[in-house]
Amino acid sequence: MRVEDKLFNNRYLVDTGRPHIKVRPHAKPSPQLLSMLKACPARCYELSEQGQVEATVDGCIECGTCRIICEESGDIEWSYPRGGYGVLFKFG
């Protein structure tokens, strides 16, 4: 089974207007931030036409990969979603 098929089994309760991960403003993305385009298993990071890395965290599985990779560079603000929001794993 492909990762994308497995992710499809999850459910998400989106906390509208309160994303739990924010990319800090940047003139040019750091190598760590750019690596998130490939490293995020849920493909939450994208490169905009302006060359900025943006995050859409509605499908985030809270794996913490971006938190660890961008910890030193300080490119993102990361926190868990508020109680009751975020990913709901169907199979535990």
Spatial neighbors of 42 by CB under 8 A, at least 6 apart, are: 7, 59, 60, 61, 63
What size, in residues, is the chain?
92
* Contact status, residue 75 vs residue 22, Cβ threshold 8 Å: no
From 14, 62, 73, 85, residue interacting with ligand SF4 (rule: CB under 6 A): 62
CA 3 – CA 85 distance, rounded (Å): 22
Nearest distance from C-beta of residue 92 to ligand SF4, angstroms: 17
Residues 1 to 60: which contact ligand SF4 by CB under 6 A? Answer: 21, 40-42, 44, 57, 60
Segment lying near ligand SF4 (by CB under 6 A), choices 8-16, 24-32, 46-54, 63-71: 63-71
For binding to ligand SF4 (CB under 6 A), which residues are involved? 21, 40-42, 44, 57, 60-66
